Amino acid sequence: MKPTGGKVGTWIKLPALESVQIAAYAGFAFVVVDTEHAPLDVRTVYELVTVADALGVAPLVRVPDGRASGIQRLLDAGAAGVLVPHVDTVEQARDVVRAVRFPPDGRRGAGGTSRAGRWGLLGLDEYVADGAGALCVPQIESRAAVDAAGAIAALDGVDALFVGAADIGLDVGAAPSSPEVAELCGKVLAAAHEAGTPCGAATGTAAGAVGLLEQGFDFVVASNDTSMLAGAARTLVDTVRAGGVR
């Protein structure tokens, strides 16, 4: 069985423009700059987003939390959207939507002199219209979030859900690869699709990405720049040593 058309991206964790360029040249459809689990400051994220956008790769950002001030800065920096971790309830999801959307649908402030407004060259109406396309993606990472997934997916302003199998596993005390976690992730996927909302997930391998797409996930974040570099380095060293070189 072949995957059925989902998009494949990767995490960016290094403060290096080359990571984004390599991801673009490799053919990833999008990148997710990770500010939850990588020590990236706002200026670095701004540069990574700018390079991705220039290369035609959708630049998403995983924010460390749902604070509106942080989300606004990254959207005004030109991010195509945000992934927001640990959204466990419908009310938390509503708060995330409000942070991403302009009034009357949210509370995002006008920052038309930012990169997103072409430094003031866009009129206010055009700036707001462009901003309406920002993607709002809550992450489902606990049993409580799984139970609320259908209602979260059905909220106006939620563009997709993202399943965090590792954190679900931590929450329920099971390995991410366990049948229990797989069942919970499947429930999120089914609830999202029942609401007509795309659903994504992450994996560390190509085989894992194929498997997730075969399950029906609409987008997959496969591996990351640091792990791909580390894996290639370890493979090279192990291969050379296996040939008798020390």
Active site residue 37: yes
The active-site residue, picked from 18, 25, 26, 37, is 37
User: DSSP letters of the chain?
Assistant: ----S-EEEEEE-SS-HHHHHHHHHHT-SEEEEESSSS---HHHHHHHHHHHHHTT-EEEEE-SS--HHHHHHHHHTT-SEEEES---SHHHHHHHHHHHSPTTT--PPP-TTSGGGGGGTS-HHHHHHHHTT-EEEEEE-SHHHHHHHHHHHTSTT---EEE-HHHHHHHHTS-TTSHHHHHHHHHHHHHHHHTT--EEEEESSHHHHHHHHHHT-SEEEEEEHHHHHHHHHHHHHHHHHHTT--
Catalytic site positions: 37
